[in-house]
Amino acid sequence: MSFFGNAAGNKGKKRDKYKELTLAIKQIVLERAKHRCQECSKKLSGTNSPHFIHINGSKKDNRPENLRAVCPECNEGKSPASDSGTMFSSFKKIFSKS
């Protein structure tokens, strides 16, 4: 530790705060979405439980700004690796047609 504090400042604490996807973070995201799917606007509750998508693709980045609440139907096929521009998704499309 130096005269000016630790080298990382408060960044380390902020990163640790959003390390895990907690119930509190999920609640913030759901309230922001008004308990509706952010893709199709279906009500999220009971049997239509919410799923959370990481916008930037990093599962370690659980900041509420980086999360979207979606229904199970809209969540299917939604992952950073399944973007239409990736080679993996192209192979997946080719081989799934058989």
Q: What tens digit of pLDDT does each residue of 21-64 get?
A: 999 999 999 999 999 999 999 999 888 899 999 999 999 999 99
Q: Which residue has the higher pLDDT, 18 or 13?
A: 18
The domain spans of the chain are: 22-78
Burial class (CB in 10 A: 0-12, 13-18, 19+), 51: middle
Q: How far apart are CA 88 and CA 35, in angstroms?
A: 33
**pTM score above 0.85:** no
Segment (H or E) for 88: helix 87-96
